[in-house]
Amino acid sequence: MNHLLARACAAVAAFALGFSAAAEVLSAKVAGGELQGFAAKGVVSFKGVPFAAPPVGELRWKKPQAVNTWQGVRAADAFAASCMQDPMMLQIQQAPPAMAEDCLYLNVWTPANSAGDRLPVMVWIYGGGFAIGTTAAQLYDGAPLAEKGVVLVSVAYRVGAFGFLAHPELSRESGKGSGNYGLQDMIAGLEWVRDNIAAFGGDPRNVTIFGESAGGIAVSMLAASPHAKGLFHKVISQSGGSFAPSRRAAEGGLSVPALALAETTGSEFLGKLDATTIAAGRALPAGQIQQAQGPGLTGGFWPVDDGDVLPGDQFVLYSAGRFNDTPVLIGTNSDEGALFIQGGVTSAALQGQMRGGYGEHADELLAVYSNATESQALQGARDVFRDSLFAWPTWTWARLQSAKGRGRAYVYYFDHRTPQRPNGAWHADEMQYVFRNLGSGFAGIGDGATRSEDVAMSDLASTYWTNFAKTGDPNGAGLPRWPAFTEASQQVMFLDAASSARPVPNMEQLKAWDAYYAWRRDQAKAR
C-alpha cells in the first residue's frame, strides 16, 4: 500500500509540475528566431523584440524592412533603446536614458496558459506629439492590464525628423510621397502581430489598437489608411483623432501638412544641416539631426497627407465610406489644455491668437469662450486647446463612424477629479487608470497619493477597455450601462465620481468648431 501511495503521489507531483510548466508561454518562435520570455505574477513578458531591420544608413527615411534573423535563443528580458528624441524627454517620461536610431522593437505581455489560448490582443501606440515617446515608460508597463485576460503589445515607432521628414527626393525615390515612416513602423508592427502573436497565446483575428494623444491621432490615421486594412478589428483612441483638412500654410487648428508643404519643411531642415541631397542627409550622425530639431516637442514634424499612407482628409474619406470599419471607443478629458497652458494668458493675447489663425471665424469662436478677465482667458485658452485638438475630432469621429460604419461608436468623457486636479482631468491623466499603474506617470504631472476612489476608477476604466477589446462592447456585469453613440442619441460615458451616460458636454463650443472646419474644407475645395 505504501508503495502504491508513493507512486500515486509521484504521479500527482509530476502532473502538477507538468501543468505548471505548461501554464505559461515562456518561449516563442517568431519571424527572426526564437525568444525566451520571463514570468512574474502569472504574466510572461517578452521585451525588446525586433520587428523590422534597423532603420539606419541607407534605410533612414525608408519604410521598415524585414527583420534580421538571429541564431540561438534570444533573451527578451529588457526594453530596447528608445527612438531618437530629446534626451530630457526620456527622463520626464520616466524611461531609461538609452536611445538610438536602431529602435524598431516591440514588447509582449501574455497571461496565456498555452499558445492555443487565442486571447484578445491590445496593441499600444504611445503619444508625444510625434516628437517624443517610448515603450519603456513605467506608465506603459503592460503586465497589470494583461492580468485582465488580454495579450498586450507595445510598438515603438520613429518620431521627429527620423519618422516624419518629407522631401522631394524621398518622394521621387518611393514613387508614393514621403514623410510617414513612423506610421509605416506602426503598420509593420501590426503585420508582425498578425503573423506572430499566436505563438504568445494571442488571437490575430481579435486585435485592438489603442493609443493616447499623438498615439490616439495615429490610431485614427490607421483607421483611414488602406495600408492598415485588416490588421486590427477594434480601435480605442484616448484624446486623439484627425479630421481637419490638410494644412497648407499657418491655418489655425490644422495639423496634418499637405505633401508640398511638408517637402518644403524637410528641404529647409536639411538645408540648415548643409545636406543638399538625401544621400548627404543619410550620412549625417543621428545626434546631429536630433540636435537640429530643438528641445521637447519642437521640430515641426507630423504625419503627412502623402496621398498614399494617408490618402487625404479623413473627414472626406469617412464621408465617402473609405475607412477601416471597426467598433471604436474614443474620448477626451475634461481639462486637457491645463497640461499645456499653465498661465500667462491675457484676454488680448487670446483674442490676438484667434484672430491670427482662424480668419473670419475668429469672433464666432471667441464668442463661445469667456475671456473678459485674465482667469477666464486662461481657462478659455485651455478649452480652445482641448476642443480644437481633441474634443471636436472625437465628436466628429463618433458621428461619422455611427453614420457611415457598421461598427458601433462608444464615447467617453474622463472627468475623474483629485485633490491635485480639482477642476478636471488633465491631458494624459487617464492613462495610469487604464493601464492599472496607479502612481505612475510622467515626472511633474503625477496625480499624488492613491486613494480608494482612484483604485475604483482604475478598475472601472480598465474593465471597460478590456471588455471592449474582447467583444467590441465595453459593457459587462456590474458596470454602469454605456450606450453606443448615435447621431440621434449622442450619449457619452462620463467617467467621474458618479459614472453614467449623459449628453455630449460643451456642445455649443463643438458646434462652433464644426462650422469653422466646414469653412476650412470649403476653402480647400476651392483651391
Of 109 and 1, the structure prediction assigns the larger pLDDT to 109
Q: What's the domain range around 83?
A: 24-158+168-254+308-526
What digits encode the pLDDT tens for the residues 48-79?
Answer: 999 999 999 999 999 999 999 999 999 999 99
158-178 burial, b if ≥16 CB within 10 A, otherwise e? Answer: bbbbbbbbbbebbbeebeebb
Q: Is residue 186 part of a domain?
A: yes
User: Average pLDDT of 435-449?
Assistant: 77
- Selected catalytic residue, list 213, 225, 458, 462: 213
Q: Is residue 453 part of a domain?
A: yes
Q: Residue 16 — very low, low, confident or very high, per pLDDT cuts 50/70/90?
A: very low
Stated as kind and residue range, the H or E segment containing 453 is helix 452-471
Question: Rounded to 5 degrees, what are φ and ψ at 81?
Answer: -60, 145
Q: Is residue 291 part of a domain?
A: no
What digits encode the pLDDT tens for the residues 465-503?
Answer: 999 999 999 999 999 999 999 999 999 999 999 999 999
- Selected catalytic residue, list 246, 347, 427, 440: 427
213 is catalytic: yes
Three-state DSSP at 63 gives coil
Q: Cite the beta strand spans of 140-215 per DSSP E.
A: 151-155, 202-212
Q: Residue 443 — very low, low, confident or very high, per pLDDT cuts 50/70/90?
A: low
- Selected catalytic residue, list 24, 101, 263, 336: 336
Is the CB of residue 86 less than 8 Å from the CB of residue 162? no
Number of structural domains in the chain? 1
Report the percent of the chain where pLDDT is more than 90.
91
**Which CATH number does the domain housing residue 370 bear?**
3.40.50.1820
- Count other Cβ atoms within 10 Å, centred on residue 104: 25
What local confidence, expressed as pLDDT, does residue 322 receive?
97
Q: Is residue 285 part of a domain?
A: no
CA distance 191 to 319: 27
User: Average pLDDT of 267-274?
Assistant: 97
Strand order in the sheet with 33-36: 27-30, 33-36, 73-75
CA distance 235 to 219: 7
pLDDT at position 151 over 90: yes
Distances (CA, A) of 298 to 95, 256, 269, 443: 20, 15, 13, 19
CA distance 469 to 23: 23
Q: Is residue 300 part of a domain?
A: no
What local confidence, expressed as pLDDT, does residue 394 receive?
98
Is the CB of residue 47 less than 8 Å from the CB of residue 152? no
What digits encode the pLDDT tens for the residues 26-39?
Answer: 999 999 999 999 99
User: Average pLDDT of 126-132?
Assistant: 97
pLDDT at position 17 over 50: no
Is the CB of residue 132 less than 8 Å from the CB of residue 93? yes
167 is catalytic: no
pTM, entire model: 0.95
336 is catalytic: yes
As beta bridge partners, residue 237 has: 211, 330
What digits encode the pLDDT tens for the residues 198-222?
Answer: 999 999 999 999 999 999 999 999 9
CA distance 72 to 35: 9
Q: Is residue 271 part of a domain?
A: no
Stated as kind and residue range, the H or E segment containing 105 is strand 105-110
Q: Residue 524 — very low, low, confident or very high, per pLDDT cuts 50/70/90?
A: confident
CA distance 339 to 194: 36
The lowest-confidence range among 201-210, 272-281, 433-442 is 433-442
Q: Is residue 219 part of a domain?
A: yes
Nearest to 181 by CA among 53, 91, 89: 53
User: Average pLDDT of 257-269?
Assistant: 97
240-262 burial, b if ≥16 CB within 10 A, otherwise e? Answer: bbbbbbbbeeebbbbbbbbbebb
What local confidence, expressed as pLDDT, does residue 440 receive?
87
Q: Is residue 318 part of a domain?
A: yes
